[in-house]
Amino acid sequence: ITTQGVGDPGALAGGISEALITTAAGMSVAIPTLMFYRYFRGRVRMLVLRMEQEAMGMVEIMHGQRQPPAGP
């Protein structure tokens, strides 16, 4: 830049403008996607926890450490 100069300031500004627009578009996609990812990751963790608890209950029932719940 020091030897050649800035060149065409309009072209430089156009490139910066394009970069800012594409960055904003990328952020508008990335932020909601991250929010959905974290929501579904939390849901999956809760489901896995519930499945592990039910599996432990089944193991306890099979080994006679607990009575099965009374059915209707």
- For 12-65, the pLDDT digits (tens) are 788 888 999 999 999 999 999 999 999 999 999 999 999 999 999 999 888 887
Q: pTM of this prediction?
A: 0.62
Residue 69, pLDDT > 80, answer no
Neighbours of 34 (CB within 10 A): 10
Place of tokens 């065409």: 8
Parse the chain into domains and list their residue ranges: 31-64
Residue bearing the bigger pLDDT, 30 or 11: 30
Longest dimension (CA), the chain: 88
